[in-house]
């Protein structure tokens, strides 16, 4: 080994999107402390380079900077190519935007960007990373969603106008839970973390919110325990089981006969 050259981490490499601030930044710091090499992905290259220097100096790991706008097809492809790397042991899909506005008024371009960032980018990065993880018998994928994924019955005020954002986060929840079923019995773990209001730049540093540090703590502890759905502020862990039971009740509608409540004289 040449002088000044670092050995590859025994933990492998973690690729984290949205690492220039907030939850992604905390993931990067925590994983560097644990000895992971890092691929730091975000649009703000200056912040990434500062963070990379800090973490390399403090923890003797490698921190690779990958400037990317995940609403761009070309940048998404570059990130996916890196996610397919043989050294990758952890993928964290964290990047996001809000796009809060009444659906009839929001810019369609923003809606497309939101769907690309919250649905297409994590789905394709996961597709790029997963085959190698399965082949190597090692790896984990974390998708950062939101408790707004479970807010479909709640109208705006006090919650924001969020039809597309909440729908996209709901996709991440269902995608991750279903994927967990596919990889059950393998060494690969998948998790969706669903924080509530979090004190980050994304939310304007909202006071009274959970810290991003606590969100990441819950996620990493939950991952070690094999939790597929992590809700950092939820005391009653059986709420997830209750959700599964409610879904089972909904699936009882999969029958060849029309429900009695729809049998009116008009269609008899």
Per the prediction, the chain carries an average pLDDT of 92
Given the residues 36, 165, 189, 206, the one annotated as active site: 165
Mean pLDDT to the nearest integer, 195-215? 79
Mean pLDDT of 96-114: 93
- Residue that the structure tokens 């990373």 belong to: 129
Which residues, in sequence order, are CB contacts of 231 under 8 Å at separation 6+?
Answer: 147, 193, 194, 195, 196, 218, 239, 240
169 is annotated as an active-site residue: yes
Element housing 189 (H / E): strand 189-193
Helix, strand, or coil here: 29?
helix
pLDDT more than 70, % of the chain: 93
122 vs 168: CA distance, rounded Å: 11
The answer, yes or no, to whether residue 83 has pLDDT greater than 60, is: yes
- Cβ–Cβ under 8 Å, residues 155 and 108: no
What's the pLDDT band for 157 if we cut at 50, 70, 90?
Answer: confident
Query: What local confidence, expressed as pLDDT, does residue 220 receive?
Result: 98
For 66, the token pair is 């990958």
* Inter-residue contact 163 to 177 (CB < 8 Å): no
Three-state secondary-structure class, residue 90: strand
pLDDT of residue 267: 52
The reported pTM is 0.91
From 64, 22, 65, 15, select the one nearest 43 (Cα to Cα): 65
- Of the residues 27, 36, 100, 169, which is catalytic? 169
Active site residue 36: no
Q: What confidence score (pLDDT) does residue 45 get?
A: 96
Task: Say which DSSP state 159 is in.
Answer: B
CATH class of residue range 13-238: alpha beta
In this structure, the dihedral spanned by the alpha carbons of residues 222, 228, 232 and 233, taken in order and rounded to 10 degrees, is -120
Give the pLDDT band (50/70/90) at residue 34: very high
Sequence ranges of the domains in the chain: 13-238
């Amino acid at each position: 080994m040449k002088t000044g050259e670092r050995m590859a981490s025994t933990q492998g490499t973690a690729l984290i999107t949205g690492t220039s601030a907030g939850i992604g930044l905390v993931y990067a710091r925590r994983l560097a402390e644990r000895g992971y090499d890092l691929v730091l992905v975000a649009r703000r290259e200056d912040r990434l380079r500062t963070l990379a220097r800090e973490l390399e100096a403090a923890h003797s790991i490698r921190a690779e900077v990958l400037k990317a706008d995940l609403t761009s097809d070309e940048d998404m492809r570059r990130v996916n190519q890196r996610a397919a790397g043989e050294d990758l042991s952890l993928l964290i899909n964290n990047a996001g935007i809000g796009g809060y506005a009444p659906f009839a008024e929001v810019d369609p371009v923003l809606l497309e960007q939101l769907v690309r960032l919250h649905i297409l980018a994590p789905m394709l990065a996961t597709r790029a990373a997963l085959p190698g993880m399965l082949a190597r018998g090692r790896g984990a994928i974390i998708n950062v969603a939101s408790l707004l994924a479970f807010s479909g019955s709640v109208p705006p005020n006090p919650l924001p106008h969020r039809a597309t954002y909440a729908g996209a986060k709901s996709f991440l929840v269902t995608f991750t839970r279903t994927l967990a079923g596919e990889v059950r019995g393998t060494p690969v773990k998948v998790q969706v973390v669903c924080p509530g209001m979090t004190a980050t730049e994304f939310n304007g540093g909202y006071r009274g919110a959970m810290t991003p540090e606590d969100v990441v703590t819950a996620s990493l502890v939950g991952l070690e325990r094999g939790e597929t759905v992590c809700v950092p502020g939820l005391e009653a862990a059986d709420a997830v089981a209750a959700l599964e039971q409610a879904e089972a009740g909904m699936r009882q509608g999969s029958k060849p006969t029309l429900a009695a409540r729809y049998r009116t004289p008009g269609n008899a």
